[in-house]
Structure 1
Amino acid sequence: MLHTPTGGAHAGTATGQKSGPMSIGAVLEALRAEFPEVTVSKIRFLEAEGLVEPARSPSGYRKFRAEDVERLSYVLRMQRDHYLPLKVIREHLEAFGDDAPYPNVPVVPPREPDEASAPAVRTGRKELLGLVGAEEEELAEWEEYGLLGAAEDGTYRLADVTVAQLVAELGRHGVEARHLRTVKAAADRQLDLVEQLVAPLRHHPDQRTRTRAAGTADELTNLSVRLYGAFVESAVRAARTRGD
Protein backbone atom coordinates (compact mmCIF):
# COMPACT_ATOMS: atom_id res chain seq x y z
CA MET A 1 0.00 0.00 0.00
CA LEU A 2 1.19 3.52 -0.73
CA HIS A 3 1.47 5.96 2.12
CA THR A 4 1.95 9.81 2.41
CA PRO A 5 2.60 12.28 5.26
CA THR A 6 -0.09 12.53 7.89
CA GLY A 7 -2.54 15.30 7.07
CA GLY A 8 -3.29 14.28 3.50
CA ALA A 9 -2.82 16.07 0.25
CA HIS A 10 -3.75 19.47 1.61
CA ALA A 11 -1.24 19.57 4.49
CA GLY A 12 1.52 22.14 4.39
CA THR A 13 -0.07 24.59 1.97
CA ALA A 14 -0.27 28.12 3.31
CA THR A 15 -3.50 29.18 1.60
CA GLY A 16 -7.09 29.52 2.57
CA GLN A 17 -10.16 28.67 0.55
CA LYS A 18 -11.37 32.28 0.72
CA SER A 19 -8.14 33.91 -0.41
CA GLY A 20 -8.30 36.11 -3.50
CA PRO A 21 -6.39 35.77 -6.77
CA MET A 22 -2.66 35.24 -6.26
CA SER A 23 0.31 36.18 -8.42
CA ILE A 24 2.88 33.56 -9.35
CA GLY A 25 5.24 35.14 -6.80
CA ALA A 26 2.67 34.71 -4.03
CA VAL A 27 2.13 31.11 -5.09
CA LEU A 28 5.88 30.50 -4.96
CA GLU A 29 6.02 31.90 -1.42
CA ALA A 30 3.10 29.72 -0.32
CA LEU A 31 4.59 26.55 -1.81
CA ARG A 32 8.10 27.05 -0.46
CA ALA A 33 6.92 26.40 3.09
CA GLU A 34 6.73 22.73 2.13
CA PHE A 35 8.74 22.69 -1.11
CA PRO A 36 11.79 24.94 -0.61
CA GLU A 37 13.29 23.81 -3.93
CA VAL A 38 10.34 24.96 -6.06
CA THR A 39 10.97 27.80 -8.53
CA VAL A 40 8.92 30.08 -10.75
CA SER A 41 10.19 28.15 -13.77
CA LYS A 42 8.94 24.92 -12.18
CA ILE A 43 5.46 26.38 -11.72
CA ARG A 44 5.44 27.62 -15.32
CA PHE A 45 6.61 24.20 -16.48
CA LEU A 46 3.76 22.46 -14.62
CA GLU A 47 1.35 24.94 -16.17
CA ALA A 48 2.73 24.21 -19.64
CA GLU A 49 2.24 20.49 -18.93
CA GLY A 50 -1.42 21.11 -18.14
CA LEU A 51 -1.17 20.27 -14.44
CA VAL A 52 -2.63 23.63 -13.43
CA GLU A 53 -4.57 26.25 -15.41
CA PRO A 54 -4.59 29.65 -13.69
CA ALA A 55 -6.92 32.36 -14.94
CA ARG A 56 -5.45 35.36 -16.76
CA SER A 57 -6.06 39.05 -16.25
CA PRO A 58 -6.92 41.20 -19.30
CA SER A 59 -3.25 42.20 -19.43
CA GLY A 60 -2.13 38.55 -19.42
CA TYR A 61 -0.96 38.14 -15.82
CA ARG A 62 -1.61 34.81 -14.11
CA LYS A 63 -4.28 34.79 -11.39
CA PHE A 64 -3.99 31.69 -9.21
CA ARG A 65 -6.75 30.55 -6.87
CA ALA A 66 -6.27 28.71 -3.57
CA GLU A 67 -7.47 25.58 -5.39
CA ASP A 68 -4.63 26.00 -7.90
CA VAL A 69 -2.08 26.12 -5.10
CA GLU A 70 -3.55 22.97 -3.54
CA ARG A 71 -3.36 21.27 -6.93
CA LEU A 72 0.28 22.29 -7.35
CA SER A 73 1.02 21.03 -3.84
CA TYR A 74 -0.48 17.66 -4.71
CA VAL A 75 1.57 17.42 -7.91
CA LEU A 76 4.81 18.34 -6.16
CA ARG A 77 4.07 15.95 -3.31
CA MET A 78 3.41 13.04 -5.64
CA GLN A 79 6.70 13.74 -7.43
CA ARG A 80 8.69 14.10 -4.22
CA ASP A 81 7.20 11.29 -2.13
CA HIS A 82 6.12 8.76 -4.76
CA TYR A 83 8.32 9.53 -7.78
CA LEU A 84 5.28 9.52 -10.07
CA PRO A 85 5.75 10.82 -13.62
CA LEU A 86 3.66 13.82 -14.63
CA LYS A 87 1.59 11.74 -17.04
CA VAL A 88 0.40 9.50 -14.20
CA ILE A 89 -0.25 12.48 -11.91
CA ARG A 90 -2.28 14.15 -14.65
CA GLU A 91 -4.38 11.00 -15.05
CA HIS A 92 -5.02 10.97 -11.30
CA LEU A 93 -6.12 14.61 -11.34
CA GLU A 94 -8.43 14.02 -14.28
CA ALA A 95 -9.96 11.06 -12.48
CA PHE A 96 -10.60 13.12 -9.34
CA GLY A 97 -12.42 15.92 -11.17
CA ASP A 98 -12.27 19.61 -10.31
CA ASP A 99 -14.32 19.42 -7.11
CA ALA A 100 -13.17 16.10 -5.66
CA PRO A 101 -10.69 16.21 -2.75
CA TYR A 102 -7.25 14.82 -3.44
CA PRO A 103 -6.70 11.40 -1.87
CA ASN A 104 -4.70 10.91 1.28
CA VAL A 105 -1.71 8.77 0.34
CA PRO A 106 0.44 8.29 3.49
CA VAL A 107 4.24 7.77 3.23
CA VAL A 108 5.98 4.88 4.97
CA PRO A 109 9.16 6.20 6.58
CA PRO A 110 12.42 4.48 5.59
CA ARG A 111 13.75 1.75 7.88
CA GLU A 112 17.23 3.21 8.17
CA PRO A 113 17.46 6.04 10.75
CA ASP A 114 19.93 8.02 8.61
CA GLU A 115 17.34 8.19 5.83
CA ALA A 116 14.60 9.66 8.03
CA SER A 117 14.77 12.99 6.22
CA ALA A 118 13.91 11.35 2.87
CA PRO A 119 10.48 9.63 3.03
CA ALA A 120 10.13 6.86 0.46
CA VAL A 121 7.55 4.37 -0.67
CA ARG A 122 8.64 0.74 -0.40
CA THR A 123 7.01 -2.56 -1.17
CA GLY A 124 8.09 -6.15 -0.58
CA ARG A 125 8.99 -8.70 -3.22
CA LYS A 126 5.80 -10.74 -2.80
CA GLU A 127 3.64 -7.60 -2.93
CA LEU A 128 5.41 -6.40 -6.08
CA LEU A 129 4.77 -9.74 -7.80
CA GLY A 130 1.11 -9.50 -6.83
CA LEU A 131 0.77 -5.94 -8.11
CA VAL A 132 2.40 -6.80 -11.42
CA GLY A 133 0.91 -10.25 -11.86
CA ALA A 134 4.31 -11.80 -12.51
CA GLU A 135 6.09 -14.95 -11.41
CA GLU A 136 9.26 -15.14 -9.31
CA GLU A 137 11.24 -16.41 -12.32
CA GLU A 138 10.23 -13.36 -14.36
CA LEU A 139 11.27 -10.91 -11.65
CA ALA A 140 14.59 -12.71 -11.25
CA GLU A 141 15.21 -12.36 -14.99
CA TRP A 142 14.38 -8.64 -14.95
CA GLU A 143 16.85 -8.16 -12.12
CA GLU A 144 19.46 -10.24 -13.91
CA TYR A 145 19.30 -7.86 -16.88
CA GLY A 146 19.45 -4.82 -14.60
CA LEU A 147 15.98 -3.48 -15.35
CA LEU A 148 15.24 -3.02 -11.64
CA GLY A 149 16.59 -4.14 -8.31
CA ALA A 150 15.74 -4.38 -4.64
CA ALA A 151 17.30 -2.26 -1.91
CA GLU A 152 19.56 -3.83 0.72
CA ASP A 153 16.53 -4.57 2.89
CA GLY A 154 14.83 -6.43 0.02
CA THR A 155 12.18 -3.78 -0.67
CA TYR A 156 11.37 -1.95 -3.90
CA ARG A 157 10.55 1.67 -4.68
CA LEU A 158 7.28 2.70 -6.30
CA ALA A 159 9.30 3.52 -9.42
CA ASP A 160 10.41 -0.14 -9.54
CA VAL A 161 6.77 -1.24 -9.41
CA THR A 162 6.03 0.99 -12.40
CA VAL A 163 9.01 -0.44 -14.29
CA ALA A 164 7.93 -3.99 -13.48
CA GLN A 165 4.38 -3.32 -14.69
CA LEU A 166 5.62 -1.92 -18.00
CA VAL A 167 8.14 -4.72 -18.50
CA ALA A 168 5.41 -7.27 -17.79
CA GLU A 169 3.05 -5.63 -20.29
CA LEU A 170 5.75 -5.60 -22.95
CA GLY A 171 6.52 -9.23 -22.17
CA ARG A 172 2.94 -10.16 -23.01
CA HIS A 173 3.63 -8.79 -26.48
CA GLY A 174 6.79 -10.83 -26.89
CA VAL A 175 9.33 -8.24 -25.72
CA GLU A 176 11.91 -10.02 -23.58
CA ALA A 177 13.98 -8.57 -20.76
CA ARG A 178 17.17 -8.85 -22.85
CA HIS A 179 15.57 -6.60 -25.46
CA LEU A 180 15.12 -3.84 -22.88
CA ARG A 181 18.74 -3.61 -21.73
CA THR A 182 19.49 -0.92 -24.32
CA VAL A 183 16.45 1.10 -23.20
CA LYS A 184 17.64 0.98 -19.58
CA ALA A 185 21.20 1.87 -20.62
CA ALA A 186 19.92 4.86 -22.61
CA ALA A 187 17.89 6.04 -19.60
CA ASP A 188 20.95 5.75 -17.34
CA ARG A 189 23.05 7.75 -19.81
CA GLN A 190 20.41 10.45 -19.99
CA LEU A 191 20.27 10.66 -16.21
CA ASP A 192 24.06 11.02 -16.14
CA LEU A 193 23.75 13.91 -18.61
CA VAL A 194 21.11 15.61 -16.44
CA GLU A 195 23.33 15.27 -13.38
CA GLN A 196 26.30 16.73 -15.29
CA LEU A 197 24.20 19.73 -16.30
CA VAL A 198 22.85 20.26 -12.79
CA ALA A 199 26.11 19.62 -10.91
CA PRO A 200 27.36 23.24 -11.22
CA LEU A 201 24.07 24.44 -9.68
CA ARG A 202 24.36 22.02 -6.77
CA HIS A 203 27.83 23.39 -5.93
CA HIS A 204 27.10 27.04 -6.65
CA PRO A 205 28.09 29.47 -3.84
CA ASP A 206 24.64 31.08 -3.94
CA GLN A 207 22.12 29.21 -1.74
CA ARG A 208 19.17 30.12 -3.97
CA THR A 209 20.92 28.66 -6.98
CA ARG A 210 21.66 25.44 -5.10
CA THR A 211 18.01 25.26 -4.07
CA ARG A 212 16.90 25.51 -7.71
CA ALA A 213 19.04 22.51 -8.70
CA ALA A 214 16.40 19.91 -7.81
CA GLY A 215 13.69 21.73 -9.75
CA THR A 216 15.96 22.08 -12.76
CA ALA A 217 16.80 18.36 -12.64
CA ASP A 218 13.07 17.53 -12.54
CA GLU A 219 12.40 19.71 -15.59
CA LEU A 220 15.28 18.20 -17.56
CA THR A 221 14.12 14.69 -16.66
CA ASN A 222 10.53 15.36 -17.72
CA LEU A 223 11.70 16.94 -20.97
CA SER A 224 13.88 13.89 -21.63
CA VAL A 225 10.90 11.57 -21.12
CA ARG A 226 8.79 13.67 -23.49
CA LEU A 227 11.58 13.70 -26.08
CA TYR A 228 11.90 9.91 -25.95
CA GLY A 229 8.17 9.58 -26.52
CA ALA A 230 8.35 12.05 -29.41
CA PHE A 231 11.21 10.08 -30.99
CA VAL A 232 9.22 6.84 -30.80
CA GLU A 233 6.06 8.46 -32.16
CA SER A 234 8.02 10.11 -34.99
CA ALA A 235 9.67 6.81 -35.92
CA VAL A 236 6.32 5.00 -35.91
CA ARG A 237 4.74 7.60 -38.18
CA ALA A 238 7.72 7.52 -40.53
CA ALA A 239 7.48 3.73 -40.74
CA ARG A 240 3.77 3.90 -41.51
CA THR A 241 4.41 6.49 -44.22
CA ARG A 242 6.98 4.24 -45.86
CA GLY A 243 4.52 1.36 -45.74
CA ASP A 244 1.72 3.28 -47.48
Structure 2
Amino acid sequence: MSAASARRRPVEHETVDVDDDDAEPWPRGVSRDPKMKISEVVDRLKTEFPALSLSKVRYLEGEGLIAPYRVGNGYRRYSEADMERLRYTLTAQRDEYLPLSVIRQRLAELDASPQAPPPQPSPIARVVAADGRTVTGATLDAASLARHAGASVAQLEELISIGVVAPDTRGRFDARALGTVTLALRAHRLGIPLRNLRPVRTAAEREADVIDAAVQHKRQRSSTAAEDAATEIAAVLAELHSALLHQAISALE
Protein backbone atom coordinates (compact mmCIF):
# COMPACT_ATOMS: atom_id res chain seq x y z
CA MET A 1 0.00 0.00 0.00
CA SER A 2 1.47 3.38 -0.97
CA ALA A 3 1.66 6.35 1.38
CA ALA A 4 -0.76 8.28 -0.79
CA SER A 5 -3.40 5.58 -1.01
CA ALA A 6 -3.42 5.00 2.74
CA ARG A 7 -4.26 8.61 3.47
CA ARG A 8 -7.24 10.83 3.01
CA ARG A 9 -7.01 14.53 2.35
CA PRO A 10 -7.80 16.48 5.54
CA VAL A 11 -9.10 19.96 5.91
CA GLU A 12 -6.66 22.50 7.27
CA HIS A 13 -5.76 22.12 10.96
CA GLU A 14 -7.46 18.71 11.07
CA THR A 15 -5.54 16.03 12.93
CA VAL A 16 -5.48 12.78 10.98
CA ASP A 17 -6.16 9.68 13.05
CA VAL A 18 -5.94 6.11 11.78
CA ASP A 19 -7.68 3.50 13.88
CA ASP A 20 -5.91 0.49 12.39
CA ASP A 21 -2.16 0.81 12.96
CA ASP A 22 -1.51 -2.03 10.52
CA ALA A 23 -3.17 -0.01 7.74
CA GLU A 24 -1.10 3.05 8.49
CA PRO A 25 1.93 3.64 6.26
CA TRP A 26 5.39 3.79 7.79
CA PRO A 27 6.44 5.30 10.15
CA ARG A 28 3.74 4.25 12.59
CA GLY A 29 3.18 6.09 15.82
CA VAL A 30 4.47 9.36 14.35
CA SER A 31 2.20 12.40 14.06
CA ARG A 32 0.34 12.76 10.76
CA ASP A 33 -1.04 16.17 11.57
CA PRO A 34 -0.11 18.30 8.50
CA LYS A 35 1.17 21.46 10.17
CA MET A 36 4.48 22.22 8.45
CA LYS A 37 5.08 24.17 5.28
CA ILE A 38 7.70 22.94 2.84
CA SER A 39 10.14 25.64 3.95
CA GLU A 40 9.89 24.44 7.56
CA VAL A 41 10.65 20.86 6.50
CA VAL A 42 13.71 21.98 4.54
CA ASP A 43 14.93 24.13 7.43
CA ARG A 44 14.65 21.22 9.87
CA LEU A 45 16.55 18.84 7.59
CA LYS A 46 19.21 21.29 6.34
CA THR A 47 21.59 20.43 9.17
CA GLU A 48 21.67 16.79 8.09
CA PHE A 49 21.40 17.45 4.36
CA PRO A 50 22.94 20.87 3.59
CA ALA A 51 22.24 20.66 -0.15
CA LEU A 52 18.50 20.01 0.35
CA SER A 53 16.30 22.44 -1.55
CA LEU A 54 12.60 23.09 -2.02
CA SER A 55 12.82 21.79 -5.57
CA LYS A 56 14.43 18.54 -4.36
CA VAL A 57 11.55 17.96 -1.94
CA ARG A 58 9.05 18.57 -4.74
CA TYR A 59 10.97 16.23 -7.03
CA LEU A 60 10.85 13.43 -4.45
CA GLU A 61 7.12 14.03 -4.09
CA GLY A 62 6.73 13.71 -7.86
CA GLU A 63 8.62 10.42 -7.70
CA GLY A 64 6.17 9.07 -5.13
CA LEU A 65 8.54 8.96 -2.14
CA ILE A 66 6.44 11.33 -0.05
CA ALA A 67 2.82 12.42 -0.26
CA PRO A 68 2.12 15.71 1.55
CA TYR A 69 -1.41 16.94 2.05
CA ARG A 70 -2.96 19.67 -0.04
CA VAL A 71 -5.03 21.98 2.12
CA GLY A 72 -7.77 24.48 1.25
CA ASN A 73 -5.62 26.90 -0.72
CA GLY A 74 -3.80 24.12 -2.58
CA TYR A 75 -0.52 24.51 -0.71
CA ARG A 76 1.40 21.52 0.58
CA ARG A 77 1.42 20.77 4.28
CA TYR A 78 3.72 18.18 5.85
CA SER A 79 3.53 16.09 9.00
CA GLU A 80 6.26 14.66 11.19
CA ALA A 81 5.66 11.32 9.44
CA ASP A 82 6.22 12.94 6.04
CA MET A 83 9.48 14.38 7.28
CA GLU A 84 10.67 10.98 8.53
CA ARG A 85 9.96 9.40 5.14
CA LEU A 86 11.89 12.21 3.51
CA ARG A 87 14.79 11.74 5.95
CA TYR A 88 14.80 7.99 5.21
CA THR A 89 14.95 8.68 1.46
CA LEU A 90 17.71 11.27 1.68
CA THR A 91 19.79 9.09 4.02
CA ALA A 92 19.53 6.09 1.68
CA GLN A 93 20.60 8.25 -1.25
CA ARG A 94 23.53 9.78 0.62
CA ASP A 95 24.85 6.78 2.54
CA GLU A 96 23.99 3.85 0.28
CA TYR A 97 23.82 5.55 -3.14
CA LEU A 98 20.53 3.78 -3.78
CA PRO A 99 18.38 4.67 -6.79
CA LEU A 100 14.91 5.98 -6.07
CA SER A 101 13.31 2.81 -7.42
CA VAL A 102 15.03 0.75 -4.70
CA ILE A 103 14.19 3.28 -1.99
CA ARG A 104 10.57 3.29 -3.15
CA GLN A 105 10.48 -0.49 -2.86
CA ARG A 106 11.99 -0.38 0.63
CA LEU A 107 9.38 2.11 1.76
CA ALA A 108 6.64 -0.09 0.31
CA GLU A 109 8.00 -3.02 2.33
CA LEU A 110 8.03 -0.89 5.48
CA ASP A 111 4.45 0.17 4.76
CA ALA A 112 3.38 -3.46 4.43
CA SER A 113 5.10 -4.75 7.57
CA PRO A 114 3.36 -4.25 10.94
CA GLN A 115 6.72 -5.04 12.61
CA ALA A 116 8.64 -2.37 10.69
CA PRO A 117 11.13 -0.60 13.00
CA PRO A 118 10.57 3.04 13.94
CA PRO A 119 12.69 5.74 12.28
CA GLN A 120 16.21 6.08 13.61
CA PRO A 121 17.30 9.30 15.37
CA SER A 122 19.20 11.77 13.25
CA PRO A 123 22.99 11.25 13.55
CA ILE A 124 23.54 14.99 13.64
CA ALA A 125 20.85 15.39 16.27
CA ARG A 126 22.75 12.88 18.40
CA VAL A 127 26.00 14.77 17.87
CA VAL A 128 24.65 18.25 18.46
CA ALA A 129 22.12 17.40 21.16
CA ALA A 130 22.79 18.97 24.51
CA ASP A 131 21.32 17.80 27.81
CA GLY A 132 19.07 15.38 25.97
CA ARG A 133 17.56 18.01 23.68
CA THR A 134 17.46 17.40 19.95
CA VAL A 135 19.10 19.78 17.52
CA THR A 136 15.72 21.22 16.52
CA GLY A 137 15.47 24.56 18.24
CA ALA A 138 18.86 24.19 19.93
CA THR A 139 21.69 26.68 19.57
CA LEU A 140 25.46 26.28 19.42
CA ASP A 141 28.28 28.42 20.68
CA ALA A 142 31.10 29.29 18.28
CA ALA A 143 33.41 26.52 19.48
CA SER A 144 30.72 23.85 19.09
CA LEU A 145 29.69 25.14 15.67
CA ALA A 146 33.30 25.08 14.44
CA ARG A 147 33.90 21.60 15.85
CA HIS A 148 30.78 20.00 14.38
CA ALA A 149 31.26 21.69 10.99
CA GLY A 150 34.95 20.76 10.87
CA ALA A 151 36.03 24.38 10.68
CA SER A 152 38.94 26.09 12.35
CA VAL A 153 38.29 29.05 14.61
CA ALA A 154 39.93 31.30 12.00
CA GLN A 155 37.65 29.96 9.25
CA LEU A 156 34.53 30.50 11.33
CA GLU A 157 35.66 34.02 12.22
CA GLU A 158 36.18 34.78 8.53
CA LEU A 159 32.70 33.53 7.66
CA ILE A 160 31.27 35.70 10.43
CA SER A 161 33.24 38.73 9.24
CA ILE A 162 31.79 38.51 5.71
CA GLY A 163 28.27 37.83 7.00
CA VAL A 164 27.82 34.26 5.79
CA VAL A 165 26.75 33.30 9.31
CA ALA A 166 25.93 35.54 12.24
CA PRO A 167 25.53 34.88 15.97
CA ASP A 168 22.55 36.09 17.93
CA THR A 169 22.78 38.66 20.72
CA ARG A 170 24.07 35.94 23.06
CA GLY A 171 26.83 34.93 20.68
CA ARG A 172 25.12 31.67 19.74
CA PHE A 173 24.14 30.17 16.38
CA ASP A 174 20.98 28.33 15.34
CA ALA A 175 21.04 24.85 13.82
CA ARG A 176 20.83 26.24 10.28
CA ALA A 177 24.28 27.80 10.68
CA LEU A 178 25.82 24.33 10.85
CA GLY A 179 24.57 23.52 7.35
CA THR A 180 25.71 26.91 6.04
CA VAL A 181 29.23 26.56 7.42
CA THR A 182 29.43 22.99 6.10
CA LEU A 183 28.53 24.16 2.59
CA ALA A 184 30.99 27.07 2.80
CA LEU A 185 33.79 24.68 3.72
CA ARG A 186 32.88 22.38 0.83
CA ALA A 187 33.19 25.35 -1.52
CA HIS A 188 36.51 26.22 0.09
CA ARG A 189 37.84 22.68 -0.42
CA LEU A 190 36.89 22.98 -4.09
CA GLY A 191 39.18 25.98 -4.41
CA ILE A 192 37.07 29.02 -3.49
CA PRO A 193 38.63 31.25 -0.82
CA LEU A 194 36.17 31.89 1.98
CA ARG A 195 36.45 35.66 1.46
CA ASN A 196 35.10 35.18 -2.08
CA LEU A 197 31.79 33.98 -0.66
CA ARG A 198 30.84 37.56 0.25
CA PRO A 199 29.22 38.22 -3.15
CA VAL A 200 27.28 34.95 -2.82
CA ARG A 201 25.81 36.23 0.43
CA THR A 202 25.13 39.64 -1.14
CA ALA A 203 23.35 38.03 -4.10
CA ALA A 204 21.15 36.02 -1.73
CA GLU A 205 20.21 39.18 0.15
CA ARG A 206 19.34 40.97 -3.09
CA GLU A 207 17.15 38.08 -4.17
CA ALA A 208 15.44 38.21 -0.78
CA ASP A 209 14.67 41.89 -1.40
CA VAL A 210 13.17 41.01 -4.80
CA ILE A 211 10.98 38.36 -3.18
CA ASP A 212 9.93 40.70 -0.37
CA ALA A 213 8.80 43.31 -2.89
CA ALA A 214 6.86 40.68 -4.85
CA VAL A 215 4.82 39.50 -1.86
CA GLN A 216 4.17 42.83 -0.17
CA HIS A 217 0.60 43.03 -1.47
CA LYS A 218 -0.13 39.51 -0.19
CA ARG A 219 1.37 40.29 3.20
CA GLN A 220 -1.24 43.02 3.68
CA ARG A 221 -3.99 40.40 3.36
CA SER A 222 -2.44 37.30 4.91
CA SER A 223 0.99 36.61 6.39
CA THR A 224 0.56 32.89 5.65
CA ALA A 225 -0.21 33.52 1.98
CA ALA A 226 2.81 35.83 1.77
CA GLU A 227 5.12 33.23 3.30
CA ASP A 228 3.88 30.51 0.97
CA ALA A 229 4.27 32.79 -2.05
CA ALA A 230 7.78 33.75 -0.94
CA THR A 231 8.68 30.07 -0.62
CA GLU A 232 7.45 29.35 -4.15
CA ILE A 233 9.29 32.34 -5.62
CA ALA A 234 12.49 31.40 -3.80
CA ALA A 235 12.37 27.91 -5.33
CA VAL A 236 11.91 29.35 -8.83
CA LEU A 237 14.73 31.86 -8.36
CA ALA A 238 17.04 29.14 -7.05
CA GLU A 239 16.43 27.08 -10.19
CA LEU A 240 16.84 30.16 -12.38
CA HIS A 241 20.08 31.03 -10.61
CA SER A 242 21.37 27.50 -11.22
CA ALA A 243 20.46 27.66 -14.92
CA LEU A 244 22.09 31.06 -15.39
CA LEU A 245 25.19 29.95 -13.51
CA HIS A 246 25.61 26.89 -15.73
CA GLN A 247 25.02 29.10 -18.77
CA ALA A 248 27.75 31.49 -17.61
CA ILE A 249 30.16 28.64 -16.94
CA SER A 250 29.56 27.21 -20.40
CA ALA A 251 30.44 30.60 -21.89
CA LEU A 252 33.85 30.40 -20.22
CA GLU A 253 34.78 27.19 -22.01
TM-score by structure 2 length? 0.56
Match of 2:155 among 138, 150, 156: 138
Alignment of 1:73 with 2:86, yes or no, is no
Alignment of 1:49 with 2:48, yes or no, is no
Q: Distance in 2 between matches of 1:54 and 1:13?
A: 26
Aligned sequence identity (%): 20
> Structure 1's 121 and 219: CA in aligned 2 closer, same or farther, altered over 3 A?
farther
Match of 2:203 among 186, 195, 200: 186
TM-score by structure 1 length? 0.58
Residue 226 of structure 1 aligns with which residue?
Answer: 239
Secondary structure at the aligned position of 1:50 is classed as helix
Worse-matched range after superposition: 149-158 or 179-188:
149-158
1:51 and 1:72 in contact (8 A); partners too? no
1:52 and 1:72 in contact (8 A); partners too? no
> Structure 1's 89 and 239: CA in aligned 2 closer, same or farther, altered over 3 A?
farther
Could you tell me how far 1:136 is from its partner in structure 2?
0.7
Secondary structure at the aligned position of 2:227 is classed as helix
Could you tell me how far 1:72 is from its partner in structure 2?
4.1
Structure 1 moving runs of 4+ over 6 Å: 45-48
2:33 and 2:80 in contact (8 A); partners too? no
Residue 59 of structure 1 aligns with which residue?
Answer: none
Residue 250 of structure 2 aligns with which residue?
Answer: 237
1:128 and 1:161 in contact (8 A); partners too? yes
Q: Distance in 2 between matches of 1:166 and 1:173?
A: 11
Alignment of 1:163 with 2:165, yes or no, is no
Gaps of 5+ in 1: 1-11, 20-29, 39-44, 56-64, 79-85, 109-118
Aligned pairs for 1:191-206 (under 5 A) are: 191-204=208-221
> Structure 1's 130 and 73: CA in aligned 2 closer, same or farther, altered over 3 A?
same
> Structure 1's 48 and 168: CA in aligned 2 closer, same or farther, altered over 3 A?
closer
Q: CA RMSD in A?
A: 4.1
Residue 25 of structure 1 aligns with which residue?
Answer: none
Aligned pairs for 1:74-93 (under 5 A) are: 74=80, 91-92=90-91
Could you tell me how far 1:140 is from its partner in structure 2?
0.9
1:123 and 1:156 in contact (8 A); partners too? yes
2:67 and 2:82 in contact (8 A); partners too? no
Report how many residues are paired. Answer: 181
Alignment of 1:123 with 2:136, yes or no, is no
Residue 171 of structure 2 aligns with which residue?
Answer: 154
Secondary structure at the aligned position of 1:195 is classed as helix
Residue 14 of structure 1 aligns with which residue?
Answer: 16
